[in-house]
Amino acid sequence: MDSFELLVALKNSGHIKEEREELWWPKSGTFEVVVGTILTQQAKWIKVEKSLENLREQNLLNLESIAKLDVTELSLLIKPSGFYNTKAKNLKKLCQNIFEEFESFENFSLHVNRDWLLSQKGIGEESADCILCYACFREAMVVDSYTNRLIMKLGYEFESYSQLQEWLISGIQSNLEKVNKLYGKEISLNTIYARFHGKIVEFCKANSTGKNLDISSLDI
Ligand code: 39A
């Protein structure tokens, strides 16, 4: 099996809600994704939404406000998503650094690169790729714990994040015409990677009971 066949099987599995957002992640292309990426580390998405709502209610869901916000106040607002003291410190510092280096989110999204993101405290490969893909519309395929669980369950083993990422990317890149046919239109690599990752997450959520992931509905 290659990753294109996995994408087809996920699309056909019938368990996945149609994406409301073109790129699956809510408010793709905005600063909210940067905040959501930090908050979603080791947290359920529903808790992240609560924290984002707290920030939105106070008109604080923007780069300048978080860069200036008192870290204790920030930690209270993001408390629902857990590890709030560390996340508040890392998020505030990240916003300060974005502001210093790029001056605005728009400039950041055009010019940031993976190495700059990886040099920031609290940002590893998964978070860097989330920000690149969903906030900056770059061609970055996210590998997260859902992806690892699904791939392991399918009987594959990879030694590193980058090896699994390469496997996901290469099956797509070798079948671009078929991917376009599958979606019924020409589709950018950024959109394919975003929707592919979204499908993996939604499939795993819909087919998990506790720690068990049921892949019997995947025709592979
Ligand atoms: N785990 C997750 C998610 N579950 C998610 N959505 C649902 C929409 N996002 C955006 C990130 N991580």
pTM above 0.85, yes or no: yes
User: For residue 213, what is the enclosing H or E element?
Assistant: strand 212-213
Which residue, judged by its Cα, is nearest atom 2 of ligand 1?
45
User: For residue 191, what is the enclosing H or E element?
Assistant: helix 189-206
Q: Which residues line ligand 1 (CB under 6 A)?
A: 25-26, 40, 45, 201
Distances (CA, A) of 50 to 21, 47, 215: 19, 5, 30
Which residue, judged by its Cα, is nearest atom 7 of ligand 1?
45
Question: Ligand 1 centre from 132 Cα, in Å?
Answer: 16
Quickly state the pLDDT bin for 220 (edges 50, 70, 90).
Answer: confident
pLDDT at 19: 62
Domains along the chain with CATH numbers: 3-22+141-213 (1.10.1670.10), 31-135 (1.10.340.30)
pLDDT at 9: 97
List pLDDT tens digits, range 106-140: 999 999 999 999 999 999 999 999 999 999 999 99
Nearest atom in ligand 1 to 134's CA: 10
pLDDT at 17: 62
d(CA 176, CA 154): 23
Ligand 1 pocket mutation pick from 25, 130, 150, 203 by most atoms within 8 angstroms of CB: 25
pLDDT at 14: 74
List pLDDT tens digits, range 158-196: 999 999 999 999 999 999 999 999 999 999 999 999 999
pLDDT at 15: 59
d(CA 204, CA 145): 10
Residues in contact with 120: Cβ distance below 8 Å, sequence separation at least 6, in sequence order:
90, 93, 94, 97
pLDDT at 12: 92
pLDDT, averaged across the chain: 96
Which residue, judged by its Cα, is nearest atom 10 of ligand 1?
25
The two three-digit tokens of residue 77, written as one number: 């607002």
Handedness of CA 29, 32, 36, 39 (dihedral sign): positive
pLDDT at 1: 93
Query: Do 137 and 109 contact (CB within 8 A), yes or no?
Result: yes
Quickly state the pLDDT bin for 18 (edges 50, 70, 90).
Answer: low
